[in-house]
Structure 1
Amino acid sequence: MDLLAHLEAYVAAVDEASFSRAAERLGIAQPLLSRRIKTLEEHFDGRLFDRSRRQVATTELGVLLLPHARDVLDRAQRLRRVARSARRSAVQAVGVPADCGPDALARVIRAGAEHGITCGVRELPPEERLAGLADASLAYALVRVPPEHAALRVPLGLASAPSDAPDGARPTPSADRSRTRRRAVHLEDLRPRRGSGARHGRPAAVPILTLMEDQLPDAEGRLLRAVARAGLPEGAVRPAGSVATALAETLAGQVTLLCTEPFARRHGARWAPLGDATLHRGYDLRAAHRGRGPAEVPHWLAALLAAAVGAVTTESTTAAALSADGDAPSRLAAHG
């Protein structure tokens, strides 16, 4: 027996002094209301209404139980309000790559507040984002998938030192933008020419560093196979240590860094996209499964996270991101 539904039928019948009006008030059929009251009477082993009269009259037992029934219904209503408030105030953790721009992530948090959701952005490695969805410690997360099967594709390229900046000097933002875009680079173009910095009979090559986001087995395997096909020397690719050290070596011209265009632009590096699209990043935006209903990602969140990772997006996704945040120039810049 659904005790709350039966108590609601009982209290409504007392308030309305009519089974038909009580049923109308609750939005149910009168026979259903009558059955609920009869079931409740069987449960309490006593009659709640005197049906021998023309009008609905409450028995002594019905009068005695009425304040307790109201108290149960009031407590249940307060419990619903508390649960609703808790759902609204609970932090919805969002798992994102560690190389997203703080300004883009701040827009995600601000947009969440505008939609009545408290977003907590967590910058995590790919494996931890996937695990967070599985144990529901994350409400939403960007999950790495092969780029050919991804909903979001993020172009990767090689960041290098600005050619016209003095050592140790950071270029201005306008200079960054003017230098950032270049023609696509192919790994074959990176093969060292004979006589260029040769040492011990082997030509020198500028190493390619990879960030943690690209150190997944599938992504690493693709890159290493492409490097081998391009004829680059063994050891041409190696994982970066700390991000700060990798950036320092990149800006000093000692290495190139595999990264996204927004990441290179934020740190004043020159950037050229990789011509091989199979080496780019691929993401799906997923929600943790909670309850029986399908897990869905809000459209506004999908658009803003696509911008945060520098994904190649459709016109409709870009429009949604722009509508979620009025700063159109910054939003367009975030899309690259």
Structure 2
Amino acid sequence: MSTHLDPDGVHNWLASSFSSLKNSNVIAGINEDDCAVLQIGDSKIVITTDYLNANPISKQLGFATYWDMGRLLVAANISDLLGSGALPVGFVASIMMEKSSSDEDFRSLMDGVKYELNNHNTPLIGGDTKLGKSNAFCGTAIGIEQLGGKLFIKNAAKPDQIIWVSGLIGNAGAAVHGLSAKVMDDNWNQWARNTLTIPSLPFHKSIALAKQALGKAGTDISDGLGENLYDLCETSSIGATIYAEKIPIDDHVVQLANQFNIPPWFYAFSIGGDFQFIVTTNEEDREIVGHLGFHEIGITTTSKDLVISSNNNVSSLPRLGHTDFNTEGFAVEVQMMLKTLKVSLNDQGI
């Protein structure tokens, strides 16, 4: 009997099945980073491709426009490059529209693409457009390692490095939870809608860190802090300790957490979607990385265990995050993660 495809569960199989095709040009391939990294002459080329979810959060909640989805398509791909320290240099858009779509729908989508690319000084260099039974939006972003700089790819972390996050996290998870629960006021709800439709990427932080060759290993937080941190640690064969109270949280997230009597940092371990990234650096670079605007949240360890410390209590970190295998929708997914965190961590004394 065949089983349903889980796109998040096939990476190891793919890496093994296609390992014979890897050559000396491949610096990072399947499962070694969120991007492919190729050595071409003296240059490192970084390539990533990502679909916009067929039913993105803002569409599920009823307020997404095609323009919004164009912006989000670009942001999802550029975010992968930034999580590896690559400078974006080009973007390819592959667009399938429903057969009932209008010319105005397509133009609105591509206007959103153009707007977001302009924010990152990145040209559209090609793509394809088709009609089909449903919408399918795919982007491919191309980047380079800066001259004199250094990429920070996912498999390069070592023990005793500081773990940083580039900005506030947990916003998307909180926005989904608050809007679906309908417990907040109009101002809060507008913040939540903006959170889910207006991407804010740490472009300059990533470029500055890479240019100064300070980052060691990194990955964007596309599926939640827990899932992506586990992924980085497994790829680098290390462990980590995260200090919960150091996780940077927006005041709006704190307001919602108070409504449900949960720690605000719970939301960082839900679905991702904040377009931020985690990165490790050497301890001696702590001061300069802090001055660049990064937030220190933990340390890598020789043990392969991942733990979280909160109020002087330490417990195992549950592996939680968004998965495409989930069919219940983002609102239900966030609620399930929050419940799992509460039960698991309470049982361990947090």
Query: What TM-score comes out, normalization by structure 2 length?
Result: 0.21
- Which of the pair has more CA radius of gyration? 1
Which structure has the highest helix share of the two?
A: 1
